[in-house]
Amino acid sequence: MSFTTKICCIGAGYVGGPTCAVIASKCADIKVTIVDINQARIDAWNSKDIPIYEPGLEEIVFAQRGKNLFFSTDVDAAILEADLIFVSVNTPTKKTGMGAGFAADLAYIEAATRRIALVAKSHKIVIEKSTVPCRTAESMRKILDANSRADVNFDILSNPEFLAEGTAIKDLQNPDRVLIGSMQTEAGLKAQQALASVYARWVPKERIVTTRLWSSELTKLASNALLAQRISSINALSAICEATGADVDEVSYACGLDSRIGPKFLKASVGFGGSCFQKDILNLVYLSQSLHLPEVADYWNQVVLMNEYQKRRFAESVVRTLFNTITNKNICILGFAFKKDTGDTRESAAIAMVKYFLKENANIRIYDPKVPASQMLYDLTVEDKVDVEQYNKRVTVCDSAYTAADGVDAVIVLTEWDEFKTLDYKRIYGKMNKPAFIFDGRLILPTAELKKIGFQTITIGKGD
Ligand code: NAD
Ligand code: UGA
């Protein structure tokens, strides 16, 4: 089949994979090739066990793969034939050097941009899909411009992604908005229209918003900062609720009924996780500092500090409740992913919790429906290490909530998986040491029922 347009996406991760799979499913006449330098990841995309769990994704990949959707490690070939190139590589927080702990590491963006500059033999529209600090497109443009030739030139667009994991396919198929930033030049505006016409196949025109480049880049950081700020705000209020006897769910519901506030993103929790909220806010903090705006930097940094406080507060309340010691006690952790409906564990609050409990010498039994044991081992022993010996001695990964609850002193819910709402808690109670404590870090459990069974219940943001 001959295609009207060819798209290359550099980076076959949580964004590149789902985003371009949906483009392929909506545009049969467009050839979409997703490339990555990670051979294992590409092999997985080409297998029956795709590397990302996301409701609805597998169906789309299986339907389009080999027709107009391809996964490859041949980055150069895909660049060569593409009209539009999405750069969807990772932009983690820098671990060392200037800006360490705050600034985004743009090495992957730069490497991908240099590859495009080196390989391209015709005009390309290069689209910044990764989340980046404001004015990154300018650096990319400089690299690309320096490599322009008579017949090879580049336009650069910013098209940040707003999907949330667990609902990525729904978000991509029916987005609140698609944002496309461009240079305000004739060529820039033409490129913007070319990309807009791809999305216009399924997104209503009024939801395709076009702006300047820098506004688009900043909007992405701002959106994540505002969302995370709401969670830190309700979590700050949850501490007041616990101290006063107010109920954070009631407070959140009543506040959310005000149409100016709205109900979403006001669910108190053990703290937000995920690969982006913390990273993007720290990025914004760094940007503010670089712009000599220390008050602005402090303001946003407080959102992250509040999140750290919430995790610490919850972990400490577990130890306090279990009579001030959890040494050699058995603790069941329900949920390890950073939210439900994903197997992603990046920055999951569960990692911080388990590490905290291991330092107190507790034995941990973990169950998560989608996170494999190998990922838990990696999260707990490779990054910011727990000793492997300690892990082997203290951590048991279980294949069901019931096995995880065998002989434990406390059950702690850290991810809001639906199945945790309807477990047979009488059965769980029967397996536990008494008194049987249950901690709800997600406000999903039927507390009144649990109390009747005999559990001691402790819920975030509930004073009773
Ligand atoms: P990811 O780590 O899952 O995927 C990035 C992929 O890029 C990796 O597979 C890596 O091997 C590949 N890569 C890196 N350098 C490369 C190169 N030079 N050539 C080819 N491949 C290369 O990351 P992600 O979660 O998909 O995030 C990507 C970007 O999107 C980040 O900037 C992130 O902030 C942003 N974002 C993420 C989400 C999300 O839900 N995960 C949502 C919106 C935006
Ligand atoms: C978030 C944003 O919602 C997306 O718009 C954005 O594209 C993405 O970050 C990104 O840039 O990576 P994501 O992190 O996948 O998406 O998931 P969210 O639903 O935002 O949840 C983030 C964390 O906040 C989770 O740990 C979740 O449990 C927690 N959360 C969320 C709460 O504690 N309370 C809430 O009310 C909502």
Q: 390: pLDDT confidence band, cut at 50, 70 and 90?
A: confident
- 276 Cβ inside 6 Å of ligand 1: yes
Burial of 381 (0-12, 13-18, 19+ CB in 10 A): middle
Regarding pTM above 0.80, the answer is yes
Please state, in angstroms and rounded to a whole number, the distance separating the CA atoms of residues 340 and 203.
27
By three-state DSSP, how is residue 293 classified? coil
Cβ-contact 3, 30 below 8 angstroms:
yes
Nearest CA to ligand 2 atom 8: 164
Please state, in angstroms and rounded to a whole number, the distance separating the CA atoms of residues 159 and 288.
22
| Residue closest to 404 by CA, chosen among 458, 446, 363 | 363
Tell me the per-residue pLDDT of 200-252, one tens digit each, with 9 for 90 and over.
Answer: 999 999 999 999 999 999 999 999 999 999 999 999 999 999 999 999 999 99
Q: How far is the CA of 110 from the centre of ligand 2 (A)?
A: 27
**Residue 27 among the catalytic residues:** no
Take residue 395 and report the two structure tokens written for it.
């951590």
Tell me the per-residue pLDDT of 243-302, one tens digit each, with 9 for 90 and over.
Answer: 999 999 999 999 999 999 999 999 999 999 999 999 999 999 999 999 999 999 999 999
| Neighbour-count burial for 215-247, b at 16+ CB within 10 Å, e otherwise | ebbbbbbebbbebbbbbbbbbbbbbebbeeebb
| Residue closest to 68 by CA, chosen among 103, 24, 101 | 24
Q: Identify any residues that bridge with 33 across adjacent strands, giving them in sequence order.
A: 8, 70
Distances (CA, A) of 87 to 20, 30, 115: 11, 18, 11
Q: What is the ipTM of this complex?
A: 0.98
Q: Is residue 263 reached through a cis peptide bond, with omega within 30 degrees of 0 on the bond before it?
A: no
The residue with tokens 């709402």 is 421
Q: How far is the CA of 366 from the centre of ligand 2 (A)?
A: 23
- 136 Cβ inside 6 Å of ligand 1: no
> Is 12 flagged in the annotation as binding?
yes
Please state, in angstroms and rounded to a whole number, the distance separating the CA atoms of residues 107 and 235.
34
Pick the catalytic residue: 8, 276, 332, 398? 276
Amino acid at 354: V
Q: Could you tell me which residues come within 8 angstroms of residue 253 by beta carbon, excluding any fewer than 6 positions away?
A: 263
Cβ-contact 88, 11 below 8 angstroms:
yes
Q: 43: pLDDT confidence band, cut at 50, 70 and 90?
A: very high
Q: Choose one of 89, 131, 163, 279 to mutate for the ligand 1 pocket test, by most ligand atoms within 8 angstroms of C-beta.
A: 89
> Is 338 flagged in the annotation as binding?
yes
> Is 385 flagged in the annotation as binding?
no
> Is 442 flagged in the annotation as binding?
yes
Q: What is the DSSP letter of 387?
A: P
Amino acid at 406: D
Nearest CA to ligand 2 atom 28: 339
Tell me the per-residue pLDDT of 404-459, one tens digit each, with 9 for 90 and over.
Answer: 999 999 999 999 999 999 999 999 999 999 999 999 999 999 999 999 999 999 99
The residue with tokens 């336009």 is 155
Nearest CA to ligand 1 atom 15: 108
230 φ, ψ (degrees, to nearest 5): -65, -40
Q: How far is the CA of 18 from the centre of ligand 1 (A)?
A: 11
Atom of ligand 2 nearest to the CA of 270: 33
Q: What is the DSSP letter of 92?
A: P
Please state, in angstroms and rounded to a whole number, the distance separating the CA atoms of residues 410 and 107.
44
Domains with residue ranges and CATH for the chain: 5-203 (3.40.50.720), 276-459 (3.40.50.720)
Amino acid at 454: G
Tell me the per-residue pLDDT of 44-103, one tens digit each, with 9 for 90 and over.
Answer: 999 999 999 999 999 999 999 999 999 999 999 999 999 999 999 999 989 899 989 988
Q: Choose one of 53, 158, 174, 224 to mutate for the ligand 2 pocket test, by most ligand atoms within 8 angstroms of C-beta.
A: 224
Q: How far is the CA of 197 from the centre of ligand 2 (A)?
A: 29
